[in-house]
Chain A
Amino acid sequence: MKLKSEKHGNIVVIELKGKIMGGPDAAIFRDELKSHLDAGVKRVIVDLGKVDWMNSSGLGILIGGLTTVKNEEGEMKLARVTEKIKSLLMITKLVQVFDSYDSVEDAIASFAG
């Protein structure tokens, strides 16, 4: 997994890339989230457009991230959810847990409302 963050005002877009499969990725993602939350940025968009593959441990990372952000009274949304991740969310019936958007722009706009 590779990770890149970009700030848009008080919103941070974290772009995940490659395979997301748990293990060390969990700590990397959590640390990244924490650094933004500690800096007072509590609106997070996770851009999944460049994720090649994700298994259930990878999904665990997203769930863990959501909890971390919620505990700090922040919000985390998903953008550009790929087919594989969509099907994972369907099977695990976690679709309703995540707020998902087709594009990063839509996700950013959703915070404005």
Chain B
Amino acid sequence: MKPTFVQEIERTLESLRQFEVSLERARESGAENANCQDLLVKLPSIDAQLAQILQGLQFQEEFELLRYTAMLLASVVDEDQVLSAILEGLKRALSYDAAGIFLILEDPQRGGSIIRAQKVIGYSSELISHDRFRQKVDEGILGWVIRNARGEIVDDVHSDPRYIEARPETQSEIAVPIISKSEVIGCINLESDRPAAFRPENLRLLDHLASYTAVVLDRTEMMREVLVAREIERELEIARDIQAKLLPKSGLEVEGYDIAGLNVPSLEVGGDYYDLIRISDEDVGLVIADVAGKGVAAGLVMSGLRAALRARIETVYSIRRVVADINRFLVESTGAERFVTAFYGVLHLPTGRLTFVNAGHNPPVLISGAGEVKSLAYGGPVLGVIPNAVYEQGYVDLDPGSLLVMVTDGILEAGGEAGEEYGEQRLVELVQSKRRESADQLVHRIDQEAVAYHADRGELDDRTVIVVKRA
């Protein structure tokens, strides 16, 4: 509502106008006198003065309203609350009977864009649920304002062919577009039960409020995006944690051997997996695997692989059967694009014999005590692609002083995206020159060398290293 004094001045002005009319009539009927004449001359100037005062007050009201809205924007975050306050506050400067903030929305069901009420006051609840509050963009006065990206005043809605009735009492209407980043995203609409209730200068005020409204809506959208991103980030954090817990926490303490492993996940959730498993007093299981691709999907495959593998290692002693089972499991449970390269070996501790299957993994390297280098490639294709793939077992002996090194392609392909890969040759040379170091020192050294070789050529893949040394 307008302040009482503004209403009073308006009333005074109105009665003066009526007085003016009656004086005019008196003059026409010849009943004029000097006093009347004098008053008649002065009247227009009084009228103008009053109008000026009124305008000044109106201007002050508008200024107050804009200041209030700006303050609201800075202090209140809730969109609904701010939009309500904008419409309610507007009453202080402008009298209206119904108001709404409308937004453009894609509606595939109705084929194209529609206008939907985001915040309304003064409409009956029945009307709000009605379809008229979801009109098409090419309809109505609101549609016209949105299409033409400019404000409009309609003094008599019933004589305007564009008008779609939302409340029967409405006589006049004013609407302005809401523009965000030079694009119309909706409109603000006011309706009055009096004809010609809105003046051209009201458009300016509404335009200001429309830009505030755009800020509110943009801010809500941004906050929504930030929240979603934060939620995803949190879930990824959890996935990374779970994954880290699935990997061995330390090397394996085994008499006569020095065994260590290292996994460094990339920024995302990775698909590398390694395991050091004490199968019996005499046998140790060594697993290194790489799920193609990254992200949560690869991480899920990796944890499924681990569960399936661990369950079978307990009960199935044939290595090639374990691998064939896992292959079948992965063919059934993953899409065609997802596969796993894996090396699974069982080391018989008393003899140093390693029985293994290499399922499409880059071959681990065995350097014998005498310095002879062997690649352990024997086995079969990658897991998860060929349903009835056949896997063969290979054997190799770790003689005293020998060293076995297994890595994933994150190590071998370091630097490869932009030039020559780190590759097996460099890896073998490094290990040969540093073979006196402990297994734990070696896994870290290999990783550091690959990272240094990669330098700053983009993001590195997951990196995993296992080193087994026989004393």
List residues of A whose CB falls within 8 A of some B CB: 19, 21-23, 26, 53, 55-57, 59-61, 63-64, 66-68, 91-94, 97
Residue contact A64 to B381, C-beta cutoff 8 Å: no
Closest 7 CB pairs of A and B: A64-B337, A67-B336, A92-B360, A93-B381, A60-B337, A60-B292, A64-B336
Minimum C-beta distance from A11 to chain B (A): 22
Which of A53, A60, A67 interacts with B417 by CB under 8 Å?
A53
CA distance A68 to B413 in the complex (A): 28
Given contacts A55-B461, A59-B292, A93-B380, contact A26 B337 (CB under 8 A): yes
User: Can you list 27 residue pairs at the A/B interface with Cβ under 8 Å?
Assistant: A22-B292, A22-B337, A23-B293, A53-B416, A55-B416, A56-B339, A57-B292, A57-B293, A57-B294, A59-B339, A60-B292, A60-B293, A60-B337, A60-B338, A61-B337, A63-B336, A63-B339, A64-B335, A91-B360, A91-B363, A92-B339, A92-B360, A92-B381, A94-B381, A94-B382, A94-B385, A97-B385
Residue B306 at the chain A interface, CB threshold 8 Å: no
CA distance A63 to B381 in the complex (A): 12
Residue contact B409 to A56, C-beta cutoff 8 Å: yes
What residues on B are CB-neighbors of A60 within 8 Å? 292-293, 337-339
Residue B386 at the chain A interface, CB threshold 8 Å: yes
What residues on B are CB-neighbors of A68 within 8 Å? 336
What residues on A are CB-neighbors of B379 within 8 Å? 93
Residue B341 at the chain A interface, CB threshold 8 Å: yes
Nearest neighbor of B386 in chain A, beta-carbon distance: A97
CA distance A56 to B382 in the complex (A): 11
Question: A-facing mask of B143-159, CB < 8 A → 1, else 0?
Answer: 00000000000000000
Minimum C-beta distance from A18 to chain B (A): 11
Given contacts A61-B337, A63-B385, contact A19 B417 (CB under 8 A): yes
Given contacts A61-B337, A63-B337, contact A93 B292 (CB under 8 A): no
Residue B361 at the chain A interface, CB threshold 8 Å: yes
What residues on B are CB-neighbors of A93 within 8 Å? 359-360, 379-382
CA distance A100 to B292 in the complex (A): 22
Residue contact B382 to A92, C-beta cutoff 8 Å: yes
Residue contact A56 to B290, C-beta cutoff 8 Å: yes
Residue B362 at the chain A interface, CB threshold 8 Å: yes
Name the interface residues of B366-408: CB closer than 8 Å to any CB of A.
377, 379-382, 385-386
Question: A-facing mask of B285-311, CB < 8 A → 1, else 0?
Answer: 000001011100000000000000000
What residues on A are CB-neighbors of B385 within 8 Å? 63, 94, 97
Minimum C-beta distance from B7 to chain A (A): 64
What residues on A are CB-neighbors of B362 within 8 Å? 91
CA distance A52 to B359 in the complex (A): 26
Name the interface residues of B323-342: CB closer than 8 Å to any CB of A.
335-339, 341
What residues on B are CB-neighbors of A53 within 8 Å? 416-417
What residues on A are CB-neighbors of B386 within 8 Å? 97
Minimum C-beta distance from A86 to chain B (A): 14
Beyond A22-B292, A56-B341, A64-B335, 14 extra complex contacts between A and B, CB < 8 Å: A22-B293, A22-B337, A53-B417, A56-B292, A57-B294, A59-B339, A63-B336, A63-B385, A64-B337, A91-B341, A91-B363, A92-B360, A93-B379, A94-B382
Name the interface residues of B406-453: CB closer than 8 Å to any CB of A.
409, 413, 416-417
CA distance A94 to B338 in the complex (A): 14
What residues on A are CB-neighbors of B335 within 8 Å? 64
Nearest neighbor of B338 in chain A, beta-carbon distance: A60
Minimum C-beta distance from A103 to chain B (A): 26
What residues on B are CB-neighbors of A26 within 8 Å? 337
Nearest neighbor of A93 in chain B, beta-carbon distance: B381
CA distance A91 to B293 in the complex (A): 17
CA distance A91 to B377 in the complex (A): 8
Minimum C-beta distance from B426 to chain A (A): 15
CA distance A68 to B377 in the complex (A): 29
Nearest neighbor of B461 in chain A, beta-carbon distance: A55
CA distance A63 to B338 in the complex (A): 9
Nearest neighbor of A96 in chain B, beta-carbon distance: B381
Minimum C-beta distance from B379 to chain A (A): 7
What residues on B are CB-neighbors of A22 within 8 Å? 292-294, 337
What residues on A are CB-neighbors of B359 within 8 Å? 93
What residues on B are CB-neighbors of A94 within 8 Å? 360, 381-382, 385
CA distance A94 to B377 in the complex (A): 13
Q: Could you say which of A19, A26, A53, A60 has the most chain B C-beta atoms within 10 Å of its C-beta?
A: A60
Residue contact B292 to A97, C-beta cutoff 8 Å: no
CA distance A63 to B341 in the complex (A): 14
